[in-house]
Structure 1
């Protein structure tokens, strides 16, 4: 506990993708739709169409780190390496990707009810995301949470992405709160939790949304204040912080 910890909690900063909703599931659906389109368009027979159902084949291109996790260049690379690339087909694949990714977003169980309870606690709520403003607004609007936050901090607003501290500092400055008065909720230990802890913020690790095989060391695995197995567990964490104070 920070020795300068105040006697109340004033703000909660949320990661967005895989913390509020299952973004990876939606992305996999989008990848599956792209591969199905390419299989149909290129008329390569039953074997090709069956292979197109494997969404992970394309999804792995987004994980390479060659381009950004949302960059269309990943789709282009996939198409070019399989001699499937044409400008019209590429344009259609990008269109499919954006449409399906957004339409298939679904809140994790209990998120909406939890936000209804949070509204009663007089807390400042914000989102900190590596998505750009337009995509962040679209996603939050799709799941009906756009009006639930006092502040949204997107990558194009700060010019920095997590784990850089600037997105967190931006939120603290804008909300007028101190680190010890703030709780960060996120699914990524390295990009959400670790930088928040370095700044002195409380942290709640959204384990339910952590889709990566981190092969965590014991030290990293324990480097958070609270573990959320479901989103509604957040209310218990907030109550715990108030009791500690």
Structure 2
């Protein structure tokens, strides 16, 4: 197995819990349409495939007009972009894990289906932006996960081959994109997964982000982990 050189992370449900801010923005949008609010659990079940899919699922759940989708996507972005980090928090163990990976000399990237502007705002607000040499959003390319193109773009920017990288995500689209890109993939069990964990077919499941470094620790000297 090729020596690990880079770790690519999904954002929502993997590095950060953004559901509350997404719920607030969605409910502001729905209120303007005269539709009912959606619960936090409903929003969590809708996250992961980009903004258009999120809004589409919310409209379907609340009886909204699907013909309004293009306009409502733009409206949602206008609401969310300025409120993306009000209640969003990094999951436990994320900061320490990123610091450990950086000390070990691994390159780091984010590949998410969230638009770049909101992604960058969240990473900056949480003090995480400096860890990542590449950030690929859902609007960086015409394709989004589960297409492999965003992961391949991240690898190109990092100068790392697929065999020397690991993807860490929380959902089926992360696993599918990584497989298609030829990248190993771990899945966290605490995120917004839309399928049973047993069906994700990831190489390994992580119950917390703190499990990541020990899971890739083969061949890493103990003094490096503690340095």
Q: Name 1:111's counterpart in structure 2.
A: 94
Paired with 1:235 and 1:104, the residues of 2 have a C-alpha distance of 27
* Residue segments in structure 1 that go unaligned for 5+ positions in a row: 43-50, 82-90
Is 2:186 the counterpart of 1:191? no
Q: 2:22 aligns with which of 21, 27, 30?
A: 27
Alignment check: 8 A CA contact 1:34 1:97 kept: no
Aligned to 1:55: 39
Quick check: 1:30–1:98 contact (8 Å CA) kept in 2?
A: no
- 8 Å contact kept, 1:61–1:74: no
Number of the residue aligned with 1:239? 217
- Give the CA RMSD over aligned residues: 3.7
Q: By how many angstroms is 1:241 displaced?
A: 6.7
Distance 1:78 1:208, change over 3 A: closer
Q: Can you list the C-alpha shifts for 1:138-195, whole angstroms capped at 9, x where unaligned?
A: 121121111110111123322210011111111222211111210100001x210122
Q: 2:204 aligns with which of 204, 226, 230?
A: 226
Structure index of larger Rg:
1
Counterpart of 2:119 in structure 1 is 136
Cα distance change, pair 184–99 in 1 and its aligned pair in 2 (3 A):
same
Asked if 2 retains the 8 angstrom alpha-carbon contact of 1:12 and 1:185, the reply is: yes
TM value normalised by structure 1 = 0.70
In the TM superposition, what is the alpha-carbon distance from 1:232 to its structure 2 partner? 0.9
State the TM-score, normalized to the length of structure 2.
0.75
Aligned length: 211
Name the structure where helix makes up a greater proportion of residues.
1
Q: Secondary structure at the match of 2:209?
A: coil
